[in-house]
Amino acid sequence: MTSTSKFFELPEELLTAVTKELMTENNHCVTDLKALRLGSPRFAYLDIVQKSLFGGIQFLATSEHLEHLVHADLCRIAPFVRTVTFAAPFSSWSLTFEEFREVIISQAIQKYKDIHRPPAPKYDSWNNDEYFIEHTWMGESPLSTDEVRAGYKQYQENARATQLFMRGAKLREMWTGALRALPHVHNFRFTTAECENPGSWHLPVRPDCVVRPHRLDMVTYTLKEVSRRAAAPVGDALFAAAIASLSKANVEIHTFDVVCRMTGQFGWETLPGWDELDLSQLPTFTFQTKVEIRTGLSMEYPEHQLEVTARAADAIAAVSKKSKDRLEYLKIENSVLGPMRWPGYEIIPLSRLRVLALGNICIRARQLAAWMAQMPLLEVFKLRGTMLHDLPNDDWLFVFDAIRNHPQALEIDFWHTIENECFETVCVKYRTDKVEDWLALPEEEKSYDYVHSDPDWPLYLSGKIGYNAFMQDWFRDHY
């Protein structure tokens, strides 16, 4: 008997310990765990391996993925699956011809720049797209108009087929059946499909008309904006299909994490299955939807922006109403300061909420103060890059007074919260009942993200001082 054979005969608890050590050293590397499963059946069926590999699975809204799901033996992994991510496909039926052309030209330039990048000092010139085209494709577009038109026709045919598929009954029926076969799944996420670094694209020698998934932080600004807008209606369709399936499967939902891009319609309460959707046991709701308002190639917000923001607040309220007696964690965040206004005018008591995190949205200060008064168990309050919905700027004091008057001590985490008309920001992180500990810290330790906050802010939030001349000067107005 070889030493390798003897190793595989070790007790399960020792094999588990070996696996834990490997996972710790390699940061839970999926590739290593898959290799372990292939190496021996003893590793293949270890609970720790299966929990790590199958704890979360993805439902991609494509006919190809659905075919895989139909033939998958879910019973084998059902005991380990805790999270399902509904992922929107990358193709979009709203992409125009000009946008399609822009995407494929941009992705070709991005990829081939990486391949043919010259050494410094020519690198700066190489970053210029016109210079790149001139020296790589002799000043001509890498794809002719006829090629682009043929590519767009094929792309649109596939995208329209995807649209019909996502709105059809088959997808909902199969997702419903799969959810019923996974009784331990209580966490759900809505997002776009995983994207790739342009360096990993397997492009042919000559550019082609195939649109490839890409990480938005790895591409040009123009391509990023076009991709975001095109993804929005696909996100709407994904969410509608998933809600219908969740309600029909009658699942118990513990995490509701919405991060897919959407158009801003937000008619959630009108979706088929919404009334039947049970969110009464939901403790965690994350709303990080990227709202994309289509106005041609411009990203300027149209006149109906306020209606869009109202609908976003209504969507959050729709979830809050269903989960108000159980919700403990609420995070609302947008990708940029844009058409997000919260809270709405209807106050929903969240009697068990412990964490409220708001980022890159516009605050309705008076409404927020009224909401906070209905959160008696609140422990953590985070503001990230937020600003006021309306002037005057000293309306922030309504929020600050809600902190001062809260029955519990709060952990405050303000990061670049926009305060006054000069866009000066406050960064502070401390507990309101431990302001003396914060004051005793060395000056360099009081700073947060290299921004030093005046001690008057923590002192005021902790109820140690009243409204003073420093704050009045900060707001440039009288309270």
Q: According to the model, what pLDDT value does residue 27 have?
A: 58
pTM of the entire predicted model: 0.84
* Crossing angle of the two packed helices 12-25 and 47-54, in degrees rounded to 10: 40
What's the rounded mean pLDDT across residues 421-440?
Answer: 84
Cα 344 to Cα 311: distance, rounded to the nearest angstrom: 9
Q: Is the pLDDT of residue 352 over 90?
A: yes
Contact 205, 28 (CB under 8 A): no
* Torsion angles phi and psi, residue 111, rounded to 5: -70, -50
Q: According to the model, what pLDDT value does residue 229 have?
A: 80
| 3-class state of residue 339 by DSSP | coil
DSSP state of 287: E
Other Cβ atoms less than 10 A from the Cβ of 254: the count is: 17
Write the pLDDT tens digit of every residue in 271-282: 999 999 999 999
Cα 199 to Cα 208: distance, rounded to the nearest angstrom: 16
Averaged pLDDT score across all residues of the chain: 80
Number of H helices, E strands in the chain: 20, 13
HSE-CB of 44 using CA atoms within 13 angstroms: 6
Other Cβ atoms less than 10 A from the Cβ of 118: the count is: 11
Cα 406 to Cα 420: distance, rounded to the nearest angstrom: 24
Beta bridge partners of residue 358, listed in sequence order: 332, 383
Q: According to the model, what pLDDT value does residue 254 have?
A: 98
**Which residue shows structure tokens 């919905």?**
389
What's the rounded mean pLDDT across residues 401-423?
Answer: 85
Cα 234 to Cα 61: distance, rounded to the nearest angstrom: 10
Write the pLDDT tens digit of every residue in 23-74: 666 555 666 666 666 666 666 666 777 777 788 999 999 999 999 998 888 9
Q: Which residue has the higher pLDDT, 14 or 247?
A: 247
Q: According to the model, what pLDDT value does residue 427 have?
A: 83
Q: Is the pLDDT of residue 293 over 60?
A: no
**Residue-wise burial string across 184-214, b where 16 or more C-beta atoms lie within 10 A, e elsewhere:** ebbbbbbbbbebeebeebeeeeebbbebbeb
Cα 263 to Cα 273: distance, rounded to the nearest angstrom: 20
Q: According to the model, what pLDDT value does residue 36 have?
A: 65
